[in-house]
Amino acid sequence: MDIKRKESKLVISNQSSVIKTPKKKRLVLGFKKHSSYKTYLSNMTNFLFKTKKRKLIFSLALILLIIAPLSFYLWNKQAGASWWNSDWNYRRSITINSAQIPGDLNNFPMLVSFTDSNLINKTQSNGNDIIFIEENGTRLNHEIEKFDNTTGELVVWVKIPELDGDNDSIIYMYYGNQTVDNQQRPEDVWDEN
C-alpha cells in the first residue's frame, strides 16, 4: 500500500482503490477508474437544511444520538437511597422478593446468606464493619453467624422492622470501613421468644 501526499490530496492506493480529498468540499469514494459514489458536503448541508421539516428531523436525530447513550447510563445506574455514610467505601443492595413472603411481617429476623468475592479484602477480617441500612437510612440490627474474609462468604441475621407481602423491599449492606468498631447488635436481633 502506497501513501503519497500531492498538493492538497492524500492518496492511499492499493492497486485500484483510491480515496481522494480534493480542494473542493467533497469526498470521493470508489475505484481509480470508476468513481461510483460521490457526496458533496455542501449539497448534503443544503439537502438537510433546505426545509424546516428536514432541519427538525436532522436536529432530533442528532439529539437522540447524544441523549440516548446518556439516558441509558442514567436508567441503568444503581437507583435507590443516597449514600448513607461516606466512612463506608462500598455498598450492596439486597432485594427481598415479596413473592417469598407469606404476608406482612414485623420485626422479622431474616437470614441473609451469600458468597461475594467483592467482600474479599474490602472488609475488616472479622466483618465488624458490615452494617445494614433501610432505604430511608435507618440502621438495622444484625448478627453475623459466619464471615470468611478469604472467600467472601457471609451468613448473617438481619432484623427487618417491616416486610411488605405485596411489594419488594430493599436494604443496603455497607462495608469497607477499616477504623470502625463492631457494628453488630445481636441482642437487638432476637426477642425473648
Domain positions in the chain: 2-76, 90-188
Q: Residue type for 157, please?
A: W
Q: Output the DSSP codes for 53-87.
A: HHHHHHHHHHHHHHHHHHHHHHHHSPPSSPPS-TT
| pTM across the whole model | 0.57
CA distance 19 to 6: 13
Q: For the chain, 193 residues long, give each residue's pLDDT as a single digit of tens.
A: 444 443 343 444 444 444 444 455 454 444 444 444 444 455 556 666 667 776 667 666 666 666 666 554 444 444 556 888 989 999 999 998 888 888 899 999 999 999 999 899 899 999 999 999 998 899 999 999 999 999 999 999 999 999 888 998 999 999 999 999 999 998 999 976 5
Q: Pairing state of beta strands 37-40 and 90-96?
A: unpaired
Give the class (CATH, top level) of 90-188. mainly beta
